[in-house]
C-alpha cells in the first residue's frame, strides 16, 4: 500500500530522498514497512533508533527485561533515569520523541515458541537484537514459517558477525549454527562493537525494504575489532538442516 509523505516528512527525510536508490518511492516503502525488533539491548537499541530515524512506519519492539546499570555502557535508548523501567517503556519514550511519525508497538514479553507467531504478527522483517542461541532458533523458525527476512548479528567483546537470512534464497540460522549451545551469562561487550554490528543490520534492513541490491544474503561478515579486520565468509545451505532442508 502506497503511503504518501507529508511535507514535514519530506523535510525530515530530505537527505535520504536525494539518494537515487531511495527517492520518494523508497521512502514511501519505508513508511509502509512493519519491522519486528527482538531485544532492546546493545544491538536492538541501535537498530530500533536507526529504523525510527529512517522513517520506518511501524516498529514492534519486544523485550522482557528492565533497565539495569550494567546495560548503560552500550544500550543507547536507556539512561540513568530509566533504571528499573521496562526496556520497552524506556525505548518507546525515546523513539516517540525521535520520530512521532513512527508507530511504536512495545511489548514487554519473553520470546517463546508458543507466542512468537502472535508477537511477529504481520511484520515483514525481523531484526535480531537477542543474546542467546535458543531465542535465535525461535526467530529462525518463525522467519521460515512466515517467509520473511531475518537479519542476524552477534557480538562478543571487540568481535562480531552479521548476515541476512531469506527463506528460499539463503541458508537459515540453524544451517550455520546447528544444535544446542551452552548459555553464556555475561557476554563481554563494548559499545562500539554493538553499534557497528547494529548499524550494519540497519543498513541491511533498509536495503531489504527499499529493494536495494548488494546485501549480505549468502555471506557472513565477520569483524575483528581489535585488529579492525573485516572478513567475508560464503555460507551455504546445509542439505541435512532440520529447519529448512525440506
pLDDT of residue 181 exceeding 80, the answer is no
Asked if residue 116 lies in contact with residue 126, where contact means CB atoms within 8 angstroms, the answer is no
On average, the pLDDT of the chain sits at 96
Place of cell 557472513: 220
DSSP characters over 92-132: HHHHHHH-TTSEEEEEE----TTTHHHHHTT-SEEEE----
pLDDT value at 121 more than 80: yes
Distances (CA, A) of 114 to 62, 83, 180: 15, 29, 19
Specify the pLDDT at position 1. Answer: 67
pLDDT at residue 179 in the model: 81
What is the predicted pLDDT for the residue at 147? 98
Write the CATH number of the domain with boundaries 33-234.
3.40.50.720
Q: How confident is the model at residue 231 (pLDDT cuts 50, 70, 90)?
A: very high
Edge to edge, the sheet with strand 103-108 lists 103-108, 58-63, 34-38, 125-128, 150-156, 159-165, 219-224, 229-234
Look at the block and give the residue holding cell 540497519. Answer: 202
Q: How many CB atoms lie within 10 A of CB 169?
A: 11
Closest CA to 142 of 213, 202, 60: 60
Supply 122's cell numbers.
504481520
Q: How confident is the model at residue 183 (pLDDT cuts 50, 70, 90)?
A: low
Tell whether the model's pLDDT for residue 118 goes beyond 80. Answer: yes
Of the candidates 237, 74, 77, 58, the residue with the CA atom closest to the CA atom of residue 163: 237
Per residue in 4-15, pLDDT tens?
999 999 999 999
Q: State how far the Cα of 164 lies from the Cα of 203, in Å rounded to an integer.
A: 11
Residue 186 has pLDDT above 90, yes or no: no
State the average pLDDT over residues 133-142.
Answer: 97
**Measured distance CA(38)–CA(64) in Å, rounded:** 10
Q: What is the pLDDT of residues 11-50, one digit of tens each?
A: 999 999 999 999 999 999 999 999 999 999 999 999 999 9
Alpha-carbon distance 111 to 132, whole Å?
Answer: 11
CB-based burial of residue 241 (10 Å sphere; 0-12 exposed, 13-18 middle, 19+ buried)?
middle
Confidence of residue 80 (pLDDT cuts 50, 70, 90): very high
Amino acid at each position: 500500500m502506497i503511503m504518501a509523505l507529508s511535507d514535514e516528512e519530506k523535510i525530515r527525510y530530505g537527505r535520504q530522498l536525494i539518494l537515487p536508490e531511495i527517492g520518494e518511492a523508497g521512502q514511501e516503502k519505508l513508511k509502509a514497512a512493519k519491522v519486528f525488533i527482538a531485544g532492546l539491548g546493545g544491538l536492538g537499541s541501535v537498530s530500533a533508533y536507526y529504523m525510527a530515524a529512517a522513517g520506518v512506519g511501524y516498529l514492534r519492539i519486544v523485550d522482557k527485561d528492565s533497565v539495569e546499570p550494567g546495560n548503560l555502557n552500550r544500550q543507547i535508548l536507556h539512561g540513568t533515569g530509566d533504571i528499573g523501567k521496562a526496556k520497552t517503556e524506556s525505548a518507546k519514550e525515546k523513539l516517540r520523541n525521535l520520530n512521532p511519525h513512527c508507530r511504536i508497538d512495545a511489548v514487554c514479553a519473553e520470546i517463546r515458541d508458543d507466542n512468537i507467531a502472535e508477537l511477529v504478527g504481520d511484520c515483514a522483517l525481523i531484526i535480531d537484537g537477542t543474546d542467546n542461541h535458543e531465542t535465535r532458533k525461535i526467530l529462525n523458525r518463525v522467519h521460515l514459517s512466515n517467509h520473511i527476512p531475518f537479519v542476524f548479528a552477534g557480538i562478543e567483546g571487540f568481535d562480531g558477525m552479521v548476515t541476512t537470512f531469506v527463506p528460499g534464497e539463503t541458508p537459515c540460522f540453524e544451517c550455520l549454527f546447528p544444535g544446542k549451545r551452552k548459555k553464556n551469562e555475561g557476554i563481554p561487550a563494548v559499545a562500539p562493537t554493538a553499534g557497528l554490528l547494529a548499524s550494519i543490520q540497519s543498513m541491511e534492513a533498509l536495503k531489504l525494504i527499499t529493494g536495494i541490491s548488494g546485501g549480505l544474503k549468502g555471506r557472513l561478515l565477520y569483524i575483528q575489532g581489535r585488529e579492525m579486520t573485516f572478513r567475508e565468509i560464503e555460507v551455504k545451505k546445509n542439505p541435512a538442516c532440520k529447519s529448512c532442508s525440506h
